[in-house]
Amino acid sequence: MKKLQIILAIIGFCSCAVSCSEDVVSTFGSVYGIVTDAETGEPLRNVSVTLSPGNETTVTGNDGHYEFADLEAGLYKLQFSLYGYATTSRQVTVVAGKRCVADAVLSHSNLQGGGNGDTGGNDDTGGNGGDKGVASVGLNVKELDFGDAATELSFNLYNLEDATADLNWKINPELHKCLTVSPMSGTLPVGYYNTIKVTLNRSAMTSDIDTTIDIYDLNDDVYYYPIPVKAKYQTPVSQEDYSSATITFGDDRLKAEIVSCRLTASTLVFEFKLTNIGLGDAITDFRIDSSIGADDTTIFYDNNGNFYKYPRLEFAGKSTTSNVIGCNLPQDVPMQGTLTISNFDTSATKFNARFYIYIYNNSVQLRDKNLYFKNVPIY
C-alpha cells in the first residue's frame, strides 16, 4: 500500500511538471514612469522621452506618465527633455514579463542663444584625465508640420546645462529632396543653443511628405535625435493660357477679351469682356444675341463637332437662355459676359463661339456683327 502511494505521488509530480512547462512565459517587458518638476513636484506633460537602442520616442500625458511596452529584455537608456528644463538621462534594465519603473525629475535650465562661442580648454567641459564629458541634447519641438502652405520653419537645438561637454552635432545629409537645412552642423558650449532653419521647396513636391531630420551627437556614436517632418501636397493650380485662341471682329472700336474657359464636371463656363473703345458714349441699345436663329448667326460648338443650343448668357447684369440682351455700352468701361453650357462634352479640349451683336436704333452702327472666339482652351 505504501509503495502504491509513492508511485501515485511521483505520477502526480510529473503531471504537475508537464502542466507548468506548458505555461507561456513572456519574453518581453515594459518600462514606465512619471516625470515631475524638481521644484514643485508637479507632473510635467509633453516631456519628450527617448528610448535607446531602438530610438523610440513618446511624450508624457497630463499626468506626467509615459510607457514603452513590448521591449526585449536588456539594458536601455532613457532621455527626458522639455523646453526650459535640463535634459536628464538614466539607464534601466528591462526584465522579461515585468513592468519596470523609471521615474524622472527635471530641473529648470538657464539657456543662452548663440552657438559658436569659445569652447576650448575649460576643465568642466571635459578633457580632464581622459574623461571627455557628456553633452546634453534638447529640442524645443516634437515635430515640424508644414501643413499645406508653409515653406519655412525653424527649431532650436540646445546643449543643456546639465551637460559636461560641448555638443558637436551634425544633420544627416540624406535629407528629403524637397528639404534644405541651415546650418548643417556646429558646436554648442554648455547652456547654449542654435536656431536651425528648415526650408521646403513646394514646387518639387509630388506627394505628401512624412520623413525625419536626424541630428547626430558626434560625442556619442550611438544616439541620434530624429525630428518628424510632415507636409501636405497641394495640386498646383493650372496656369490658364489663352494666347493660342483667336478673336475675330471687324470693328476695332469694340475690344473683345477672353477671361476664362473652365469645365467643371459637365458644365462649361466661358467668361469674356467687351469694351467700347471708340463708339462714343451715346450707345444706349447695344445688343448681344444668345439664340440660334434660322440664319445660324450665333453658334457655340467644341472641337469634337458638338453644337450647343440655349446656353445661359449673362451680360451687363442681365441674363437669358434663348433671347437677346440689350444694354448701354458706355465708353471705356469693360462689360463682363458669362456663357454657361450644361451637358458639355467632357472630352472636348477647345471651345468656339460666334456671337451676333449689333446696335439697335442708333446713328452709330457696327461695321461687323459677328464676333468670333475660336479654339479657346478649356481648363
Q: What is the CATH number of the domain that holds 76?
A: 2.60.40.10
DSSP annotation of 125: G
Q: How far is CA 47 from CA 123, 229, 331, in A?
A: 31, 19, 69
pLDDT in the model for residue 250: 93
pLDDT in the model for residue 170: 94
With respect to residue 30, please indicate whether it lies within any of the assigned structural domains. Answer: yes
Is residue 229 over pLDDT 90? yes
Residue in 309, 376, 310, 371 with CA at minimum distance from that of residue 348: 376
Q: Determine if residue 223 is left, alpha or beta; phi over 0 gives left, psi from -120 to 50 gives alpha, anything else beta.
A: beta
Is residue 232 over pLDDT 90? yes
With respect to residue 116, please indicate whether it lies within any of the assigned structural domains. Answer: no
281 and 225 together in one domain: no
Is residue 11 over pLDDT 60? no
Q: What does pTM read for this prediction? A: 0.42
350-359 vs 370-377, strand pairing mode: antiparallel
361 and 262 together in one domain: yes
77 and 143 together in one domain: no
Is residue 61 over pLDDT 60? yes
Whether 330 contacts 283, CB under 8 Å: yes
How many Å apart are CA 117 and CA 121, to the nearest integer?
A: 12
Residue in 134, 347, 140, 312 with CA at minimum distance from that of residue 225: 140
The average pLDDT across 298-303 equals 93
Is residue 46 over pLDDT 50? yes
Highest averaged pLDDT of the listed ranges 52-56, 208-212, 218-222:
208-212
Is residue 353 over pLDDT 50? yes
The average pLDDT across 342-367 equals 92
- Give residue 222's pLDDT band: very low, low, confident or very high (50, 70, 90): low
193-200 vs 179-182, strand pairing mode: antiparallel
Domain boundary residue, one of 89, 106, 123: 106
342 and 251 together in one domain: yes
Is residue 16 over pLDDT 60? no
Mind listing the pLDDT tens digit for each residue in 128-137? 334 567 888 8
360 and 317 together in one domain: yes
Is residue 17 over pLDDT 50? no
304 and 350 together in one domain: yes
The average pLDDT across 18-27 equals 51
With respect to residue 2, please indicate whether it lies within any of the assigned structural domains. Answer: no
Is residue 263 over pLDDT 70? yes
Domain boundary residue, one of 185, 207, 231: 231
158 and 252 together in one domain: no
226 and 277 together in one domain: no
The average pLDDT across 268-273 equals 97
Residue in 72, 119, 112 with CA at minimum distance from that of residue 96: 72
pLDDT in the model for residue 123: 35
C-alpha cell at 220: 556619442
Domain boundary residue, one of 46, 72, 106: 106
Q: Tally the domains of the chain.
A: 3
Is residue 278 over pLDDT 60? yes
Mind listing the pLDDT tens digit for each residue in 138-183? 888 889 999 999 999 999 999 888 888 999 999 999 999 999 999 9
The average pLDDT across 287-293 equals 75
Boundaries of domain holding 96 = 26-106
With respect to residue 318, please indicate whether it lies within any of the assigned structural domains. Answer: yes
Is residue 301 over pLDDT 60? yes
Q: What is the 3-state secondary structure (H, E, C) of 187-213?
A: EECCCEEEEEEEEECHHHCCCCEEEEE
188 and 268 together in one domain: no
Is residue 5 over pLDDT 80? no
How many Å apart are CA 189 and CA 185, to the nearest integer?
A: 14
170 and 221 together in one domain: yes
Looking at this protein, which amino acid is placed at residue 255? K
The average pLDDT across 309-317 equals 91
136 and 206 together in one domain: yes
pLDDT in the model for residue 223: 65
With respect to residue 175, please indicate whether it lies within any of the assigned structural domains. Answer: yes
pLDDT in the model for residue 113: 60
pLDDT in the model for residue 4: 45
Residue in 84, 139, 137 with CA at minimum distance from that of residue 106: 84
CB-based contacts of 78, cutoff 8 Å, min separation 6: 31, 49, 50, 51, 89, 90, 91, 92, 102, 104
- Whole-number mean pLDDT of the chain? 84
With respect to residue 4, please indicate whether it lies within any of the assigned structural domains. Answer: no
206 and 265 together in one domain: no
What is the DSSP secondary-structure string of 168-191?
Answer: EEEE-S---TTEEEE--EEEE-TT
pLDDT in the model for residue 116: 39
For 60-76, letters b (16+ CB in 10 Å) and e give: beeebebebeebeeeeb
Q: Give the Cβ contact number of residue 48 at 10 Å.
A: 21
- Give residue 111's pLDDT band: very low, low, confident or very high (50, 70, 90): low
With respect to residue 14, please indicate whether it lies within any of the assigned structural domains. Answer: no
pLDDT in the model for residue 168: 92
Is residue 23 over pLDDT 70? no
Residues facing residue 374 across a β-bridge: 246
With respect to residue 176, please indicate whether it lies within any of the assigned structural domains. Answer: yes
